Amino acid sequence: MLALEGIKILDLTRVGPGPFCTMILGDLGAGVIKVEAPADAGDRRQVGAFRSPSKEDRREAAFNPIDRNKQSLALNLRSERGREIFYRLALAADVMVEAYRPGVARRLKIDYPALSEINPRIIVCSITGYGQDGPYRDLAGHEVNYTAMAGALNLIGEPGRKPALPLTLVADRGGSAMQAAIGILAAIIARAGTGRGQYIDISSMDSVISLLVWPSISYFYHHVVPERGTTTDQGAYPYYGVYRTKDDKYIAIGCIEPWLWEKFCREIGKEEFIPYHFEPRHLVFPPSDRKWPEITAHLDRLFLTRTRDEWFESLRQKDIPVGKVNSLDEVFADEQVRHRNMLIEIDDPELGRVQQVGIATRLSGTPGKVRSLAPTYGEHTRAILGELGYTEGEISHFYRHKIVA
């Protein structure tokens, strides 16, 4: 048994946080149907309406973990018959996730008020950049914009240099995708008591702000606006930072606790550095004692005397918090990653061995599972329509009139 077995999710999202959210839920057992828009003739990725998927199409889909454990239904929601099909899907669905601009779902007549009339138990989650209300509600954006507006981007990087882009890990993946998944799970639990679904309004900007709990303390309590690269968690102090090594790689040190810093100082033969350890004010105020630059400069020189892996093996044996700054190929070759099954291999009869990232949520009784690789565009359209009770004649009619693909 899987934790979310029996939960049916309609996924209308395309890119960004939505598909990652439904991937998490699908990994835990939910049945996810990707409801995809009809293909444009110029979009080679969407092939169902124009040609059969090639082996390369299938291979490209198979290596996309975002859409694993999902089915693909290509449906024209702008047509009346398309909406009728969607309403039949919604009648038995537990959750619908969408990431349209605010107001689009309402214009398509598939918003929460419309769907809750059909199915009072349905949960609808909307993921947008700035939320369903407020002066920015209609402002276009992506990860870089939301992270910037929320204040996180200004805190990432080195002092005196422009902010560093954190991939799409903050607003999209760690922010709104996770908040959406948490909100959906909470709403499912709440429904067990109320008997009704509810609406979930997820904003990427809100989600990033919610991650800034530590920087917000310095602002609200100390009335200090943190600046990039000036506090402990930004590498301003030598006991918590990244250093270049002899082989032109990097090692990360995290000796915040005084006893760990003492271990490290004794290991490198610099007992005089021991009194200079973490203090709570370092979370707010930049280094002020003149000894800090001296310590940092010494560590800069010291770490250049050995390779990254030599430092890692030496310091880990002394129970000192140390980490290799790995490249992605090194990550998936790492013994811990392999042991924890964060690299999984799926044997496909047509494509052979397919490698993907593993499932991070580890449940002892109902662990997650990759039950199927990502589908090609519209791969399950005919099967899903058949399950909904449509006849072969009706399905052929839908294809001819481009209601489905």
Catalytic positions: 172
Cβ count near 86 (within 10 Å): 24
Q: How far apart are CA 390 and CA 80, in angstroms?
A: 16
Structure tokens at 1: 């048994």
Who's near 382: CB < 8 A, 6+ residues apart? 395
Please spell the DSSP secondary structure of 278-344, one letter per residue: --GGGGTSPP-STHHHHHHHHHHHHHTTS-HHHHHHHHHHTT--EEE---HHHHTT-HHHHHTT-EE
Q: How far apart are CA 183 and CA 91, in angstroms?
A: 21
Contact between 235 and 242 (Cβ < 8 Å): yes
Cβ count near 218 (within 10 Å): 17
Beta bridge partners of 32: 9, 70
Q: Which long-range contacts (C-beta less than 8 Å, at least 24 apart) are formed by 395-400?
A: 398/81, 398/85
